[in-house]
Chains A and B, each alone.
Chain A
Amino acid sequence: MPLLTATAVTKKFGGLTAVNNLDFEIEQGSIASLIGPNGAGKTTFFNCIAGFYQIEAGQIVFDGQPIQRLRRDQIAHLGISRTYQNIRLFANMTAMENILVGQHYHLRSSWIGAVLGTKSVREDEGRAHREARRLLRFVGLQNKGDLLASNLPYGDQRRLEVARALANKPRLLLLDEPTAGMNPAESQQMTEFIRHLRDELGTTILLIEHEMRVVMGISEKITVLHYGQKIAEGTPIQIQTDPLVIEAYLGRGSAGTAGHEATAIPALEATQGGASAGSTPASA
């Protein structure tokens, strides 16, 4: 049974249909990707799932429960966490505080208890700090807990944002361009990290990604959006040879000859190498 099922989801902005009648599902424990040219509606669809946008039509069901009318915090409580295309950490909180605030739902202390400093509040805080330190270690930021989020290097900020999302103990993690702005070595590291997340924690992961090396390397299923519509769906191999996908990326007429294809799409070509590099993570 799929963990998340979207049926005929439509989101419009004025005259523009950003997501058009989209059907989508993701299996429990899998890693899936959304790809497509700029403006294809990928992030809009993320925003629909996470409750940032109200959809005009359709239904989104998470774990048997429709969520399209819920508030963002209620969706988070059900176990959906996300990261953002342009990192949105709480810049003036420390790395540690960012993770602590991510655990909000799982802490139980009342404010009166906090003012009085009761034993249960202190225990609760102690647990929260231990968990935050564990997550910092997990994302490799163990010595940087006291730094302001805005002072962390870029790659660390990306990882901290994932750690903050993980603090909510999500069952579905939405990653919006997790390797944006990273060099090849960093994005290779991030790929390993995402795979590690799924293998260690069993978290279902849906990502938006432009870097084909990453997408092809870790996705079990890829969905291609174009002008808000799904134009292809399948395994990395299926997607790479789909003529509609190539046309969407390169324009009409480019999908003519197969030989031309291979040389004309550097991104897709690179994915072949990426897929093989991804399959041997031990070498990294």
Chain B
Amino acid sequence: MTVTSAGMPATGTAPSATGSAPAMPVSFQRRVIRTGLLGAVIALYLCMVGIVPIFNARPLVQGVISLGQAALFLSLFATGFVATRRVAESSSRLIADGAIAGGLSGVALSALVLVGSMVDVRAFMPNASPVLYGILTFNLGTVGFWIPMALGAVLGGLAGAVGLASPRLRRSLFVGLISLFALGLFAGLIRTPMLALPVDELARLLFASDGLTLIGAVVVLVLSVGLHHLQRTRRLDRQFAALPPSQRRRIQIPLIALAAVFVLVLPQGLGSFFAQVIAIVALYVMMGLGLNITLGLAGLLDLGFVAFFAVGAYTVGLLTSTAEFGIAQWPFWAAVPVAVIVAMVFGAFLGLPILSIRGDYLAIATMGFGEIIRILAGSDLMKPLLGGPRGIINIPKPIEVPPDSLLAGPNQIYYIALIGAALIAFVAWRLRASRLGRAWIAIREDEDVAEAIGINLIQTKILAYMLGAAFAGLGGAVFAALVGSIFASSIQLMVSINVASLIIVGGMGSIPGVIVGAIFLIGLPELFREFSEYRFLFYGIALIAMMQLRPEGLLPSRIVRREFQHGGGDEPPESSTSPLAL
């Protein structure tokens, strides 16, 4: 015993200490170069797939920097940052390493400019054009080929220097940059309503027709960094939490009222494009809250959402349309309850064959429903009834109003979706604390134990599918009214995936999470329409990054956050509950 306990550490550390000491600087250098090369690949990729030229059309700060340049700078900066992260070294060494890594990435871009201006590679790389070289060299052309190199070294070195700053300062800077990006991108969205209000002078000062003005950029940076710093040093949230409940309510109630007013007046004065976008976002918030019952409470990953969405939409179409295939010409409000009930019945029937399927398999199986309904709706079989690819048109608006009314166009859909979302949130809240809600959570936690406790899995799961389907049907009904028509091509698997992803990105089981998720995954891509297909590139990147960095979602509910903190979410209950178990 004494031999092993004394000998083990000695033999264990001695060779590794002697072995790794000389090897350290080598692997260290290699790491810098490797990161630099990786950065080069990413920067080249951004240029070659055409992201930089397309993003260049959108200014971030008017006349100073475009989104395309910002994306490129960011990739160079990130290269330097990653290369120097988690390395304990002298400050000059860190800056040098960052500069080497960033410079390496820049060299690749410089080489691209040089090679590209000598040899025309546009035949197989259509984006390697003089326009791109202009962006890379600040319009100097081949003469300025050294610019990306120098820029990479400077930005990389800067990133190494940032690594030296205190975490608080670093976070403040990060917040400042994020704010700059966000406000620069959504300048139009903020500027339009401001112009209509008495603050139009301020709007012109801060926002250009596209992007921020230079003054605006400085104001945003100073304000966001300052506010963040204030919050960090004063711990406003802790001060707030320390207040007695009566005082806390005195602050909370006006804030909630303010938020409510904001939500209510939001679509007014935004113009028809933005109004349409926020109506769609509100619709997805409503559908997200609906799926949250199936997915968040009962833990059933139901990707057949779009099937019931279609049932709701077609039911409303059939019952209200004034054109061909319309059978009743009912008002929207009479058709909605029918649509919900029909969707519920479909939910119960489609739930039956998948009762015993669990987890990932369930997602695949339910995905089939959406496809079945989509194919059926577009098929010749259902053509006499549903119109096939031509669909059902002339679905009237829920409320007939003059075009300049507060409820005109997509605005009324926005309000209807808000009411629907409030209704669903209320139902979910009531169910959460009921016998059925507890049974759902128990099934989510441990299906076998739940059944052994006396929970009828068949009944309970069918109810989850039925309620999920009911709210999906409601979503479809509102969608039909928003668009005014319903086609087989509207029944896309992407609807199911969007709704599921927005819940996961936002934070499962949390209402604010669903709202934030819908804004991020539905609203943003709509606002970036000019970037066409690239939107989905970023959608994908955002999903991967989210799952890596914040698997619990942006604004998770208190319970989900606890689950992730305790590591109880993914592991089998045995290991999470009893570290002492034999």
Contact = CB atoms under 8 A, between A and B. Distances in A.
A31 to B, nearest CB: 21
A205 interface: no
A142 interface: no
A157 B577 contact: yes
Interface string A239-252: 00000000000000
A181 B579 CA distance: 10
A157 B580 CA distance: 11
A181 B457 contact: no
A189 B549 CA distance: 45
B445 interface: yes
B324 interface: no
A73 B457 contact: yes
A52 B577 contact: no
A73 B445 contact: no
Q: Which one of B446, B576, B581, B582 has the greatest number of beta carbons of chain A within 10 Å?
A: B581
Contact of B578 (A100, A151, A157): A157
A51 B578 CA distance: 25
Interface residues on A, range: 35 or more
Contacts of A125: 433-435
A72 B568 contact: no
Contacts of A82: 452
Nearest to B466: A111
Interface string B77-105: 00000000000000000000000000000
A60 B177 CA distance: 69
Contact of B434 (A75, A105, A111): A111
A154 interface: yes
B568 A91 contact: yes
Contacts of B579: 154
B431 A104 contact: no
A151 B578 CA distance: 10
A81 B449 CA distance: 10
Given A73-B456, A92-B562, A168-B453, A111 B577 contact: no
B451 A91 contact: no
Contact of B576 (A93, A150, A181): A150
A19 interface: no
Q: Which one of B430, B439, B449, B463 has the greatest number of beta carbons of chain A within 10 Å?
A: B449
Contacts of A105: 454
B441 interface: yes
Contact of B452 (A73, A124, A148): A73
Contacts of B431: 111, 114-115
A92 B559 contact: yes
Contacts of B450: 90, 101
Interface string B450-474: 1111111100000100010000000
Contact of B451 (A73, A117, A151, A154): A73
Interface string A124-160: 1100100000000000000000001111001001000
B453 A181 contact: no
A101 B442 contact: yes
A93 B436 CA distance: 14
Interface string A79-105: 001101011111111000100111011
Contacts of A76: 451-454
Given A93-B442, A180-B581, A115 B456 contact: no
Q: Which one of B426, B427, B573 has the greatest number of beta carbons of chain A within 10 Å?
A: B573
A84 B453 contact: no
Interface string B562-580: 1100101100011011111
Interface residues of B, number: 42
Contacts of B204: none
A121 interface: yes
Contacts of A149: 577
Given A87-B574, A90-B446, A104 B438 contact: yes
A75 B568 CA distance: 29
Q: Which one of B427, B454, B578 has the greatest number of beta carbons of chain A within 10 Å?
A: B454
A77 interface: yes
A27 B425 CA distance: 51
Contacts, number: 133
A109 interface: yes
Interface in A15-42: none
Given A72-B448, A90-B449, A93-B445, A104 B439 contact: yes
A102 B580 contact: no
Q: Which one of A91, A109, A115, A164 has the greatest number of beta carbons of chain B within 10 Å?
A: A91
Contacts of B582: 180-181
B454 A109 contact: no
Nearest to B451: A72
A68 B185 CA distance: 65
A104 B454 contact: yes
A71 interface: yes
Contact of B445 (A92, A117, A157, A180): A92
Given A92-B559, A93-B445, A86 B578 contact: yes
Interface string A34-60: 000000000000000011100000000
B449 A88 contact: yes
Contacts of A84: 449
Nearest to A93: B441
A258 interface: no
Given A89-B573, A90-B449, A150 B568 contact: yes
Contacts of B446: 88, 90
A149 B436 CA distance: 20
Contacts of B559: 92
B464 to A, nearest CB: 10
A270 interface: no
Contact of A117 (B430, B452, B463, B574): B430
A121 B568 contact: no
Q: Which one of A88, A109, A124, A148 has the greatest number of beta carbons of chain B within 10 Å?
A: A88
A97 B578 CA distance: 19
A71 B457 CA distance: 10
Interface string B168-180: 0000000000000
A264 interface: no
Interface of B: 426-427, 430-431, 433-439, 441-442, 445-446, 448-457, 463, 467, 559, 562-563, 566, 568-569, 573-574, 576-582
Interface of A: 50-52, 71-73, 75-77, 81-82, 84, 86-93, 97, 100-102, 104-105, 107, 109, 111, 114-115, 117, 121, 124-125, 128, 148-151, 154, 157, 164, 168, 180-181
20 contacts: A50-B452, A73-B452, A76-B453, A86-B574, A87-B574, A89-B577, A90-B449, A91-B566, A91-B568, A92-B441, A92-B563, A93-B438, A101-B453, A111-B435, A111-B463, A125-B435, A154-B581, A157-B578, A181-B581, A181-B582
Given A150-B566, A181-B578, 13 more contacts: A81-B453, A86-B581, A87-B573, A90-B446, A91-B566, A92-B441, A93-B438, A104-B435, A111-B434, A111-B436, A111-B463, A114-B436, A117-B430
